[in-house]
Amino acid sequence: MKFDTPAGANPIDRQRVVGHPHDRIDGPRKVSGTAPYAYERHDVAPDAAYGWIVGATIARGRVRSIDSRDAEAAPGVLGIVTAANAGPLKKSESHVAALLGGPTIQHHDQAIALVVAESFEQARDAARLVRVDYAAEKGRFDLATERAHARAAGPSFSGPSSISVGDFDGAFANAPISLDAVYNTPDQSHMMLEPHATTAAWEGEKLTLWTSNQMVAWAVRDLAVTLGIPKKNVRIVSPFVGGGFGAKLWIRADAVLAALAARRIGRPVKVALARPQIANNTTHRPATIQRIRIGAGKDGRIDAISHETWSGDLPGGGPETAGAQTRLLYRGEHRRIEHFLSELDLPEGNAMRAPGEAVGLLALEVAMDELAEKLKLDPVELRIRNDVQYDPEKGPNRPFSSRKLVECLRVGAERFHWSRRNPAPGQVRDGRWLVGMGMASAFRNNLVGASGARVSVDGRGRVLVESDMTDIGTGSYTIMAQTAAEMLGVPLDRVEVRLGDSLYPVSAGSGGQWGANSSTAGVYAACVSLRRALAQKAGFNADDADFADGHVIAGNRRVKLADAAGPDGVVVEDRMEYGDLQERYAQATFGAHFCEVGVDAATGEVRIRRQGGAFAAGRILNPKSARSQVIGAMTMGAGAALMEELVVDTRFGYFVTRDLADYHVPVHADIPDQDVVFFDELDDKSSPMKAKGVGELGICGAGAAVANAIYNATGVRIREFPITVDKLIEKLPPLT
């Protein structure tokens, strides 16, 4: 099925099941401990051995030799895998660095060996006995230093890296009001709950991996390339994923080394990364340096806007596309967006929740707050005056499919009681606390991807949905069940959903905020085909048939779904593919963030008192799980503003803050009150579901609202994130 014209009326519009808050159907298994996660697959691999990864202790150079004799002689050790005995390995295009290093070392903690033993403890202890001799080389570890050697970045998933429209230099020079500021964001780690983990087993030439992965089809492709085996011989099973945030879009060292070890010792092998290994062994969000220049008239309308951003990655890597949102969010006839990339010898930089926009809006929305102050204009009003209903790069010929930014700003401000804010910074006190409010716009592109599903109805009238789509804690099981229930006119409890297996039809997978809209559209496509088949079996004209209350209905005739399916049932498979609507219409999600903070006048301690947000993201398929996604994202945004930082040891090229003892993330006590409201909105250019993604929108702008609230509370503007006590305390107003 192809979606190439705007969606008309369809069965989803009934919203008997879709659009209502439902508990997650996978919830009972998760809270009871019966949901099978990758490392816990004792049912399929009861005799599995355990592997422990040995990581490089240099950041750049070569391995001269590996002496594993003591480790091999240790109790319980079954084997040791290194590049010398692993056999020929290739590097997938998805990976910048080899997942098994040696002799060349590309970054600190790059996997160079796997010790396999009868128990986890034996493998871990024996790994300490592996002796490695290195030839270290000088590396490049500091973005600020290497910025001078940056080059223009190439195209990325968000489009070209450099955009120029009009005459920015001239317009900026002549602007009555202008802002020129530089903002810095640090490297960040995903810190998902479940670490990277894999259980691997071979049966002849066929490999099965039970692994924690967001994109099953990509995992099949990349593992086949890496090991040099046919894709048909690889099966990936990932029905439950304990968070990923982009870190699990691609297979990592645990998957490859588990597969290699299982083949070497002839039995299943489990490999999990310990928390301190994740930051350096896997991927992270790269640090950025961002220069933003805005020129506006005295009425606040922007005429010139420029966003230059610098980030770093290993040779062959890509940029953090922090200027992505600036291309589409605000008006401005004269525009320049540029991304520059420096080569660094740090671990691989790659996607983390809302790549580009999450850190780009930390800079842009603080810059907008600074511009509002220069103009003596309310920050909400400034954004409203710069709303544009079409792609500002391409003009009115490419309108937005739907854009309710202004509505989000107004409703969000009203719900948050923004009118009570004192615009003069540092004027509101509550005992020892300086109190302030801040806000920011939210923006995230709307992406869709081809997605398939298999849907069947059996002789009892029960519906089964199968797809390789993953559920990373986002509620995929439930919204896909809701879609099938809506399309086939059955209660939700009559639908079973099976996900995360490469034996099922290929879906869009989970990432980029495209998962929910795309995967449900795939179920929609399969259900359209199934409705047609069932109607024909029931003797109806397929175009006239309706599905409701467990029946196929046409005119005065009603046939039970079970009877229409017959004793053998009916099974169909279909997929949703997309035409050029995304080229003809700018598609994005929008919102407005608000935050109130208290800052201790003596110590500089920051406490978030409340967060609020209003969001427009097409049809909200399940308001309950969507709200959970947004409040989680708002929390991550607050963490980015206040505490999250992978601190780089620029002498040796590794991240020092490697675990939750010193890489801090917000907890419940840090944010006592969060309010979320969704707009009723249908985007008929997005998909037949008329939905969009929402999981990443909530992080976009949330941190900037925190930063702007801190400024309103204290009068101290911090442009280097995170905003920690040491950056605030010496600049606070004198105690009175």
> Is 391 exposed, middle or buried (CB count within 10 Å of its CB: 0-12, 13-18, 19+)?
middle
d(CA 93, CA 100) in angstroms, rounded, equals 15
In 3D space, the residue among 158, 138, 139, 142 whose CA is nearest the CA of residue 150 turns out to be 142
Extract the tokens encoding 443: 């923006």
Contacting residues for 564 by C-beta, under 8 A, at least 6 apart: 457, 534, 535, 537, 538, 552, 570
Give the rounded distance of the alpha carbon of 524 from its chain centre.
Answer: 24
d(CA 708, CA 364) in angstroms, rounded, equals 12
In 3D space, the residue among 235, 198, 229 whose CA is nearest the CA of residue 501 turns out to be 235
d(CA 58, CA 240) in angstroms, rounded, equals 35
Q: Are 51 and 86 in contact (CB under 8 A)?
A: no
Strand pairing class (570-578; 2-3): parallel
Extract the tokens encoding 341: 């990339």
Residue keyed to tokens 């879906």: 507
Q: Which residues of 478-517 are buried (b: 16+ CB within 10 A; e: fewer)?
A: bbbbbbbbbbbbbebebbbbbbbbbebbbbbbbbbbbbbb
Q: Answer yes or no: 696 catalytic.
A: yes
Extract the tokens encoding 644: 């999250």
Q: Are 641 and 707 in contact (CB under 8 A)?
A: yes
Q: Are 594 and 437 in contact (CB under 8 A)?
A: yes
d(CA 415, CA 421) in angstroms, rounded, equals 13
DSSP secondary structure string for all residues of 423-435: SSTT--EETTEEE
Q: Which of these is catalytic: 381, 696, 720, 730? A: 696
In 3D space, the residue among 264, 279, 315 whose CA is nearest the CA of residue 82 turns out to be 264
> Is 338 exposed, middle or buried (CB count within 10 Å of its CB: 0-12, 13-18, 19+)?
middle
Query: What Å distances lie between residue 524 and 457, 548, 598, 672, 723, CA to CA?
Result: 15, 16, 47, 39, 45
Extract the tokens encoding 61: 């150079």
DSSP secondary structure string for all residues of 57-77: SSSSEEEEEEE-HHHHTSTTE
Give the rounded distance of the alpha carbon of 432 from its chain centre.
Answer: 38
Q: Are 110 and 104 in contact (CB under 8 A)?
A: no
Extract the tokens encoding 727: 């950056």
Q: Are 370 and 363 in contact (CB under 8 A)?
A: no
Question: Residue 299 — left, alpha, or beta (φ > 0 → left; ψ -120 to 50 → alpha)?
Answer: alpha
d(CA 495, CA 124) in angstroms, rounded, equals 44
d(CA 437, CA 601) in angstroms, rounded, equals 16
Query: What Å distances lie between residue 668 and 612, 625, 657, 658, 674, CA to CA?
Result: 16, 18, 22, 22, 11
Which contiguous run of DSSP H or E holds residue 185? strand 177-185
Extract the tokens encoding 115: 């010790």
- As a whole number of angstroms, the longest Cα–Cα distance in the chain is 84
> What is the 8-class DSSP label of residue 196?
P
Question: What are the catalytic residues?
Answer: 696
